[in-house]
Amino acid sequence: MQEVVYMKIQWIEFENLENGLKIERILFYPDVTLLVGLSGVGKTEILYAVEYSLKLAVDKSVALHPYKVTMGILINKDSYEWSYTIAKIKEDELIVDQNENYGFLFEQLICNGDLIFKRTEDYVTISGFDKVPKPKKDESLLLQYAEDTKLKNFISEIKKLYPMEIDVEIRRGISKEMFIRYKNIANDWIKKEKNIEFQVFSHLPVAVKLYIVKKYYQEIYMQIFHSIKEIFNEIEDIDVVEYEKGNVYVVSMKVYGKWLLQYNISSGMLKTIYYITELFTMSKNSLILIDEFENGLGMNCIDTLSECIVYERRDLQFIITSHHPKIINGIEKEKWKIIDRKGSVVKNYDSENYGIGNSQHDAYFNLINRWEYEGKI
């Protein structure tokens, strides 16, 4: 399998066949795309469409919904276009009063203009196969043919999705049983393979990753620690410890000579620590989705975290939503996608085509003034 050095989501278009919501094709930048718009215009729906589609391709447990989606993905120099339509089907028309289920009515994958597979209600075609068995209607062909050599790169790369929903995790910690299981697996792997790269652990919970980097990958740990200390100079050390009362493992930090458990740390500080840890421990070429990036963060954290996103990991691709002026002004307007909604259609515009001026300094205020003038605020 060819080594992957570059993977990016290029665009997506989406339609909910049940409620009529339609997202017009939106192009994503290879590094950072900031979705800017008023509440309720569809920013979160765009993130959801990307997340749902990528999970649908690799996870059998994802529930099917009546969606019609096409998306473009670039892996190395190979350009993929994946399309699917999910709708209600009946397994057997002879069975009276059978409940309707959802299934794939259409699915297609094209690479560099060549058809890899296609299925409709009547037939299925897969490149390299003269005859193919009847596919499962409730699973993507990407799942059913994941071991095919033509799909291995595609499947392995689209698994690199990190929807950052860490608000629950940062408060409850990780169960003792789960932490010990992950810790033992990591210890065994590292003992067997001395030079194993950290990215094999990149999808583990934050507390586990923090434990692993501190014990085995000091260079990564020091990057995390120094970035955190730039914001919170009072922090002297960070660790992961057992909290016996809750039967969980939690993040702990040393402040002014005293160790504090994460339950005694402010939400903003803790969320910042989790964000920074995630940032430095993600797989290469990963896609990160963050909805309302600023939520729960202190003012002193927003600038530094915005800079980390833009400059620290240039191999990563971020798709972010935000309403906060410091975040919006901190990311160049050429990386903005301005989201608007006309009835059930979610539209998007580049900043240069939205008439908000050329100055970065004035762009946000011109945008707000325009919305106010149009009666949207």
pLDDT at 262 over 90: no
What are the domain boundaries of the chain? 7-160+333-373, 165-282
Which pLDDT score, from 0 to 100, does residue 167 have?
A: 45
Which pLDDT score, from 0 to 100, does residue 222 have?
A: 95
Residue 88 CB neighbour total at 10 angstroms: 14
In sequence order, which ranges of 176-217 are alpha helices (DSSP H)?
176-192, 206-216
Q: Among residues 41, 29, 35, which one has the least CA distance to residue 323?
A: 35
Beta bridge partners of 366: none
Element (H, E) at 169: helix 167-172
Tokens representing residue 85 in the block = 């339509």
Which pLDDT score, from 0 to 100, does residue 94 have?
A: 42
Tokens representing residue 149 in the block = 């050599």
Distance, in Å, from the CA atom of 225 to the CA atom of 105, rounded to the nearest integer, reads 50
Which pLDDT score, from 0 to 100, does residue 215 have?
A: 94
Distance, in Å, from the CA atom of 79 to the CA atom of 75, rounded to the nearest integer, reads 7
Q: What is the pTM of this model?
A: 0.87
Q: Which tens digits make up the pLDDT trace of 77-98? A: 899 999 999 998 865 544 444 4
Tokens representing residue 130 in the block = 């003269």
- Per cent of the chain over pLDDT 70 is 91
Which pLDDT score, from 0 to 100, does residue 96 have?
A: 43
CA atoms within 13 A on the CB side of 301: 19
Which is more confident, 18 or 92?
Answer: 18
Q: How many angstroms from the chain centroid is the CA of residue 103?
A: 25
Q: Which tens digits make up the pLDDT trace of 298-323? A: 777 787 777 777 777 888 899 999 88
Which pLDDT score, from 0 to 100, does residue 100 have?
A: 60
- Please provide the DSSP assignment of 333-354 as one string: GGGEEEEEEETTEEEEEEGGGT
Q: Among residues 64, 65, 21, 10, which one has the least CA distance to residue 43?
A: 21
Tokens representing residue 198 in the block = 């950290």
Where in 256-298 does DSSP place strands (E)?
Answer: 258-261, 287-290
Sorting pLDDT into bands at 50, 70 and 90, what band is 163? low
Which pLDDT score, from 0 to 100, does residue 95 have?
A: 42
Burial of 40 (0-12, 13-18, 19+ CB in 10 A): exposed
Sorting pLDDT into bands at 50, 70 and 90, what band is 370? confident
